[in-house]
Structure 1
Amino acid sequence: MFSFEGFVRINAFLTAVYRVAFLNVLWVATTALGLGLFGVGPASYALAKYVDRWLRAGETPPPARVFWRYAREQAGRSMLVSWILLAAGGVIITNVFLASSWYVRILNVGALGVLGIAWCYVYPVLAATDLDTIPRQLGGALLVGFGSLHWTIIGATGVGATWWLLWQFALPLLVLFGVGIPAYAVGLVTRAVFRGLTPADAAEVGPASTGRGQAEPARPGVAAAAR
C-alpha cells in the first residue's frame, strides 16, 4: 500500500510528464506560427529557458504564459542562431550525399555530429549564461557538449532509445512528447554543468517562483571559460 510520500512522488512525476508534453506542444505551435524558419529559433530558446529555470531553480510557472514571453525575449538573436545552424546543416548534408570522395563524406558525418551538439546546447547557453556574442555562444555550446561528453552520450542514448520505443509501440506519444524529451535530457546535463560554473550555486534562487515578479538569478559567469 502506498504511503502519502509515495503518492506525492507519483503526482510529481506525472506533473513533470504533463509539463514536458505541454512544452512540446508549445514548441510545435510557436515554430508553426513562425512558419518554421522564423519560429524554430524563438521556440527553441523559450523551451530551453523554461527547462533551465525548472530544473536548475525549481521555477514552474504556467508554461503557456511564460513560453510566449520567453519566445519574444531574444527573438532576433535566436532566429539568427537557428539560421546559421540550418545553413551549416544544409551544406554538411549536401556534402554527405554529393561529395565524390568517401573520406570527405566521413568528415562531414563527423561535422554533422558536432553541429548536433551545438544545436542541443546553444539555446541553453543563450538562455542561462552571460556570453554576449553568437560566436562565443556557439563556442560555449561546444564547450558544454564536449566538456561533459560522457553525459552527452548517455543523454543521446537515452533519448534515442526512448524515441525508438515510442516509434515502435506508441507513435502518438512520440508526436506528443517529441522535442520535449531531448530538451529535458539536455536540461539535466546543463543543470549540473551550470551549477559547477557558479560558485556556491549563486545562480539559484531560494524559493521556487510560481508566477510573475520573481527576480531571476544571476547567470553563470562562463564568459571567461569560453574565451
Structure 2
Amino acid sequence: MFSFEGFVRINTAATAVYRLAYLNLLWVATTVLGLGVVGFGPASYALAAYLDRWVRHGETPPPARTFWRSVRERTWHTILVGWILLGAGAIVVTNVLRSPDGTVRALNVVALVVLVVVAAYVFPVMAATDITSVPRQLGAALLLGFGSLHWTVLGGTVVAVTTWLLWSFATPLLLLFGAGVPALVVALVTRIVFRPLVESPALPGRTMHHPLDTPVTEQAS
C-alpha cells in the first residue's frame, strides 16, 4: 500500500501536470486572441515569467491572474520581440523551402537553428534578468543558448522525443501541452545555467529578479 508521503508525491505531480496544461491553454488563448502576430510575444513572455518563478524560485502563484499580469506588464516590448522572431522565421523558412541554391538553403537551415535557440531563451532572459534593450536581450539569449550548448542540445533532444511520442501515441495531449513542454524544459535549463550567474564571485551585483517584482541585486557572498 502507498504511504501518506507517496500519496502526497502523487498529488504534487498531478497538480504540476494540471498547472502546466493550464499555462499552455493560457498561452494558446493569448496567442489566438492576439491573432498570432500580436499575441505570440506577450504570451511567450508570460509563460516564461511564470515558469521562472515556479521552477527557479519554487513559487506557484495563481496561474491565470499572474499570467495576465505578465501579459500586460511589458506588452509592446514583448510584441516587438515577437515580431522580430516571427519576421526572421518567415524569411528563413521561405528561403529554405523556395531557394533553388543548395548552399543558400543550407545556410538558412543553420540560421533557422540559431533563430530557434534565440527564441527559446530570449523570453526567459527577459523574465529573469534586468537586461532591458531588445538587441541585448537577443544577444544574451544567443550567448546563453550556445554558451551552454550541451544543455541546449540535451533540452532540444528531450523536447523532440517528447513531441514525437505525443504526436505518435497521444495527439490530444500534444495540443494540451504543446507550448508548455518546451517552455518547461527551457525553464529547467535556465535554472541550472542562471545559478552560477547569481553565485559566482566573478559576477558581483548580477541582477536576477522575479518578473513581477522589483529587481533584487544578489551580491556574491
- Give the corresponding residue for 1:129: 129
CA distance in 2, matches of 1:220, 1:186: 22
The sequence identity of aligned pairs, in percent, is: 61
Aligned-pair CA distance for 1:48 = 0.3
Give the partner amino acid of 2:6. G
Give the partner amino acid of 2:216. A
Aligned-pair CA distance for 1:130 = 1.1
- The 3-state SS of whatever aligns with 2:84 is helix
Aligned-pair CA distance for 1:199 = 2.4
CA distance in 2, matches of 1:93, 1:168: 25
Contact 1:45 1:70 in 2 (8 A): yes
Q: Does 1:218 align with 2:219?
A: no
Give the partner amino acid of 1:15. T
Change in CA separation of 1:109 and 1:103 when aligned onto 2, cut-off 3 Å: same
Change in CA separation of 1:219 and 1:23 when aligned onto 2, cut-off 3 Å: farther
Aligned-pair CA distance for 1:176 = 0.7
CA distance in 1, matches of 2:216, 2:56: 12
Change in CA separation of 1:202 and 1:5 when aligned onto 2, cut-off 3 Å: farther
- The 3-state SS of whatever aligns with 1:6 is helix
- Give the corresponding residue for 1:86: 86
Give the partner amino acid of 1:107. L
The answer for unaligned runs of 5 or more in structure 2 is 201-205
- The 3-state SS of whatever aligns with 2:130 is coil
Contact 1:41 1:78 in 2 (8 A): yes
The answer for unaligned runs of 5 or more in structure 1 is 206-213, 222-227
Q: Does 1:118 align with 2:118?
A: yes
Q: Mapping of 1:1-227 within 5 angstroms?
A: 1-199=1-199, 203=208, 218=216
CA distance in 2, matches of 1:33, 1:219: 36
Change in CA separation of 1:216 and 1:193 when aligned onto 2, cut-off 3 Å: farther
- The 3-state SS of whatever aligns with 2:37 is coil
- Give the corresponding residue for 1:224: none
Aligned-pair CA distance for 1:103 = 1.2
CA distance in 1, matches of 2:152, 2:145: 6
Contact 2:129 2:207 in 1 (8 A): no
Give the partner amino acid of 1:61. P
Aligned-pair CA distance for 1:98 = 2.1
- Give the corresponding residue for 1:209: none
Change in CA separation of 1:131 and 1:204 when aligned onto 2, cut-off 3 Å: closer
CA distance in 2, matches of 1:15, 1:204: 25
- The 3-state SS of whatever aligns with 2:61 is coil
Aligned-pair CA distance for 1:132 = 1.7
Q: TM-score, normalised by structure 1?
A: 0.88
CA distance in 1, matches of 2:65, 2:77: 21
Contact 1:41 1:82 in 2 (8 A): yes
CA distance in 2, matches of 1:64, 1:40: 17
Change in CA separation of 1:186 and 1:106 when aligned onto 2, cut-off 3 Å: same
Contact 1:197 1:220 in 2 (8 A): no
CA distance in 1, matches of 2:213, 2:167: 41
Change in CA separation of 1:105 and 1:169 when aligned onto 2, cut-off 3 Å: same
- Higher RCO (C-alpha 8 Å, min separation 6): 1
Change in CA separation of 1:217 and 1:77 when aligned onto 2, cut-off 3 Å: closer
Aligned-pair CA distance for 1:203 = 4.7
Q: TM-score, normalised by structure 2?
A: 0.90
Change in CA separation of 1:82 and 1:59 when aligned onto 2, cut-off 3 Å: same
Which piece of structure 1 moves more, 40-49 or 126-135? 126-135
- Give the corresponding residue for 1:225: none
